[in-house]
Structure 1
Amino acid sequence: MTPATQVVVIGGGQAGLAAGYHLRRAGVEFVILDAQPLPGGAWQHTWDSLRLFSPAAYSSLPGRLMPTQPGELYPDAAHVVGYLTDYEQRYDLPVQRPVHVEGVHRDGTCLRIETDTGAWQADAVISATGTWSRPFLPAVPGRRDYRGEQLHTVDYRSPREFAGKRVIVVGGGNSGAQIAADLADQTDLTWVTQREPRFLPDEIDGRVLFDVATARRRALDEGRVDSGGVASLGDIVAVPPVRAARDAGLLKAEPMFTRLTTTGAEWADGTRSEADAIIWCTGFRPALSPLAPLGLRGHRCHIATDGTRALDEPRVHLLGYGDWTGPASATLIGVGRPAREAARQVADLLS
C-alpha cells in the first residue's frame, strides 16, 4: 500500500527543516525525505576551514537560535551540522533517510513521489534539494585533455592534500576566494577570475547581506528602482582568513585563461602555467531532477515561480535555491521567511 501524506518535503537540509517547522505550526501533515544518511545537509561535506559569514545569532533557522561556538565569532561547518541535528530532534521533524527521490508525477488529484524505497502519495510537494549535488563545470577548451587532477568546490577538503604543489583555483566568488586563501601559503597558487575580484567592505557580513537582499526584493515588489542588491556591493565577503591572505598580498588574481593544455593553462597572450591540480570554484545549479516528470522547466531550463510556488503546478513549491525563491533563501537566516510563506500557501491550498 502506498503511504500517503498531505505534503512531501524533498530534502532534509536547512531549507527542508525550515519548511517542516512552519508546516508543523500550520497543522499540516508532512514527511521529509532526505537523500543524506545523516542530518546536516550539505554542511557535512564542506572543506575543513569553512566558516559562516555571520555570527551564530544571525545564522539561525526559525524558532531556535543557533548557540555560539566557544572561541569562534563565525561558527564552522561542524557546529552548523550539530545545530541542524539538534533542530531536527528538538522539533521532532519526521525525516526519513536515506531516501532518494527519483521523480514526482501527477497522479489524478494527487502527486506521486517515486523513491528508491517505494512511492508516496501527497497533495503537495516542497522541493528543498539545494544545489550542492549539482556542481557546475564550465566548458573550457582543453579541459578533457588536461592530465593533472581536477576537482570542484564540493571535492576540496584541506590544503594538506596539495602542500608543495602547483594549484590553479578558478572562481572569483566566495568559494574561490576562501579556498585560494586556504591554499595560499602552502602551495604554488594561481588564482584565476573572470573579472577583477570585488571584495565587500570588511565590516559587511551575512547580516548586512540578508538585509540588502530583503530590501531589494521589497523594492522590486513595490515597483521601485532596482538597487542591484548584494551584487552591487561586491562578490566576496572578507571573512577573517580571506582578509588576512588579501592583506598579506597572497590573493592576487590573474585573468581567466583561454584554454587548458595537457599540463596546465594557457592565456590569450601565449603565457603558460604548469599545474598539478585545478580546483573549479565555479558554482552550482539547482538540483531539480526529481521534478523533471512534471515538465515545469521553461526558458533556459528555469522553473517559473511566484515566490516559492511553481506557476505551472501550484501544488509544487521550490525553497532555498537563492533569490528567485526568496531573498537570501539559500542561507540559514534567509530561508525562514520564504519557508513560512510556502507553508502558508500549502495550508491554504489544502483547505
Structure 2
Amino acid sequence: MEHADLVVIGAGQSGLATAALAPRHGFPRILVLEGAEEPGGSWPRYYDSLTLFSPARYSSLPGMRFPGDPDRYPRRDEVVDYLRDYARRLPVGIRTSTTVTSVTRQDGAWSVRAGGGREFTAPAVVAATGDYGTLFVPDIPGRADFGGRVLHAADYRSPDAFAGQRVVVVGGGNSAIQIAAELGPLADTTLATRRPIGWTPQRPLGRDLHWWLRHTRLDIAPIRRLLAKVPVSVLDDGHYRTTLDQYGVDRRGMFSRFTADGVVWPDGTKEEADTVLLATGYRLTFPYLTESGALDTSGAPLHRGGLSTAVPGLGFVGMEFQRSFSSKTLRGVGRDADHLLGRLSQVRS
C-alpha cells in the first residue's frame, strides 16, 4: 500500500496539469495513476493526421511552453511528444500500467484500488481520466444486418485502408470534418449529420479565434451552462470546406437505418456502402467511482466547477464545459486544475 497527499487518476493532459500545480496548493506527495503503458492519455491513439485547432502558443500546460513556431497548429505526434516530455519533467510519482478499479472513502481518507491488488490511500483524489475511454455508438436500426464495416473514429488511423470504397462518415464536428476531408481524395465519401454543419472562421479579421477568446476573456468566462447549449461548430480557415467541395464530399441528413449492403437515406433512397465511420464522440464515465457516492443515478459526477458536491476530498478535471469554453483543452485544463486544487485544499479532511 502506498500513501500520498493527493492521488491523480489519469496521466493525460488533465492529470499532468493537476500534478504539476498540486505542490503549490499544499500537496507535497503526489501519485499519478495511469492505465496505459506511458503517460499521454488518449493522444497516442488518435488518428495519424489529427491537427489541433489552437496554435501552439495557446496549447501549453502549466510551466512548459509548447515548443516550435508559436503560430503553427501542432499535429498529433507533436502533442504526444510534448506530453511525454512534460511527464518526464514532473517531480511526482507516475505509476503506469495501473488501471484503477475502485475508489472508496474509509475513515476520512480515500482508498484507491488498482488491478493486481495494488492499493493507494490519500486524503484527496482527482479524477482526470476524461471521456475518451467510452465510445458513443448510436443505436441505428438494422446494424446487425449490415454486411460492411462499422467503425468508430477511435479505430480510424489513415485513409489508405479505405481507398476506392463508398464511405459514410457520421457526425458534424471537427473530427468528422477532418476525417471526411482526408478520405475525400481516395474514397467516395458522404457526411451524414442530424443538422447542417456549422462553420466558424479560424482566423476572423486575420487573428486566430483563440486570440479573440483570450482578449475578450470568453476563453475563461465561467458560463458553462450557456456554452453547453451552443451548437457544434467546425473551426476552419477555408481548407476543409474547399477540400470537401473539391472532392465531392457531400452532406446529407442522417440515414434512418442500415440495410444488408448499405443505408437508407431520409427520403427513402437506398444506397450501398462499404464502411460507416462513426465520428460520434465519447461519453463521460467514471466506472471506478461507482461505489464512491460521487455520481448521480445516471453515472454523472455531482460537482460544482469540478469539486464534488457529494463527498469531501474529491475533484474532477478535464470535463467539457467544466468551468468555461476552454475546459477539456490543452490551454484550459491548467486553469481548471488550479481552481479545483485551491478549493480541494480547503475542504479535504
TM-score (norm 1): 0.90
Aligned twin of 2:18: 19
Q: What do the CA deviations read for 1:273-329 (whole angstroms, capped 9, x no partner)?
A: 211111000111113111111133226432221111111013110110110355422
CA shift at 1:27, angstroms?
A: 3.5
1:69·1:79 contact (CA, 8 Å) conserved in 2?
no
Corresponding letter in the other structure for 1:10: I
CA shift at 1:122, angstroms?
A: 1.2
RMSD (Å), alpha carbons: 2.5
Aligned twin of 1:329: 327
2:164·2:186 contact (CA, 8 Å) conserved in 1?
yes
Aligned twin of 1:49: 49
1:178·1:242 contact (CA, 8 Å) conserved in 2?
yes
Aligned twin of 2:277: 279
CA shift at 1:92, angstroms?
A: 2.7
Aligned twin of 1:92: 91
Identity of aligned residues (%): 34
Q: How many residues align?
A: 344
Unaligned regions of 5+ residues in structure 2, if any? Answer: none
- Distance in 2 (alpha carbons) for counterparts of 1:240 and 1:56: 20
Pick closer, same or farther for the CA change 1:219–1:103 going to 2, 3 Å: closer
Q: What do the CA deviations read for 1:173-212 (whole angstroms, capped 9, x no partner)?
A: 1111111111011001121111111111242556158549
Q: What do the CA deviations read for 1:192-236 (whole angstroms, capped 9, x no partner)?
A: 111111111242556158549963873649xxxx8x548658511
Corresponding letter in the other structure for 2:240: V
CA shift at 1:39, angstroms?
A: 2.3
- Distance in 2 (alpha carbons) for counterparts of 1:79 and 1:69: 12
Instruction: Please give the secondary structure, in 1, of the residue aligned with 2:80.
Output: helix
Aligned twin of 2:170: 170
Instruction: Write out the 4+ residue segments of structure 1 that deviate beyond 3 Å after TM superposition.
Output: 208-214, 216-221, 228-234
Aligned twin of 2:258: 260
Aligned twin of 1:63: 63
Unaligned regions of 5+ residues in structure 1, if any? Answer: none
1:17·1:93 contact (CA, 8 Å) conserved in 2?
no
Q: What do the CA deviations read for 1:21-79 (whole angstroms, capped 9, x no partner)?
A: 11022241210001111222211011111111121111000111101269x82111110
Pick closer, same or farther for the CA change 1:210–1:104 going to 2, 3 Å: farther
Instruction: Please give the secondary structure, in 2, of the residue aligned with 1:32.
Output: strand
Aligned twin of 1:9: 8
- Distance in 1 (alpha carbons) for counterparts of 2:235 and 2:32: 32
CA shift at 1:160, angstroms?
A: 0.3
Pick closer, same or farther for the CA change 1:254–1:301 going to 2, 3 Å: same
2:261·2:272 contact (CA, 8 Å) conserved in 1?
yes
Matches within 5 A, 1:174-323: 174-203=174-203, 207=210, 211=214, 215=218, 218=221, 220=223, 228-229=226-227, 232=230, 235-238=233-236, 241-246=239-244, 248=246, 250-298=248-296, 300-323=298-321
1:169·1:278 contact (CA, 8 Å) conserved in 2?
yes
**Which stretch of the first structure deviates more once superposed, 152-161 or 34-43?**
34-43
- Distance in 2 (alpha carbons) for counterparts of 1:137 and 1:209: 35
Q: What do the CA deviations read for 1:69-120 (whole angstroms, capped 9, x no partner)?
A: 69x8211111011111111112333211010000101212111111014111
- Distance in 2 (alpha carbons) for counterparts of 1:216 and 1:173: 19
Corresponding letter in the other structure for 1:193: T
Pick closer, same or farther for the CA change 1:62–1:110 going to 2, 3 Å: same
- Distance in 2 (alpha carbons) for counterparts of 1:209 and 1:136: 32
- Distance in 2 (alpha carbons) for counterparts of 1:272 and 1:27: 62
Instruction: Please give the secondary structure, in 1, of the residue aligned with 2:167.
Output: strand
- Distance in 1 (alpha carbons) for counterparts of 2:244 and 2:230: 21
1:214·1:328 contact (CA, 8 Å) conserved in 2?
no
Q: What do the CA deviations read for 1:1-37 (whole angstroms, capped 9, x no partner)?
A: x211111100000000000011022241210001111
CA shift at 1:141, angstroms?
A: 0.8
Aligned twin of 1:36: 36
Aligned twin of 2:137: 137
1:7·1:122 contact (CA, 8 Å) conserved in 2?
yes
1:161 paired to 2:161: yes
Corresponding letter in the other structure for 1:113: V
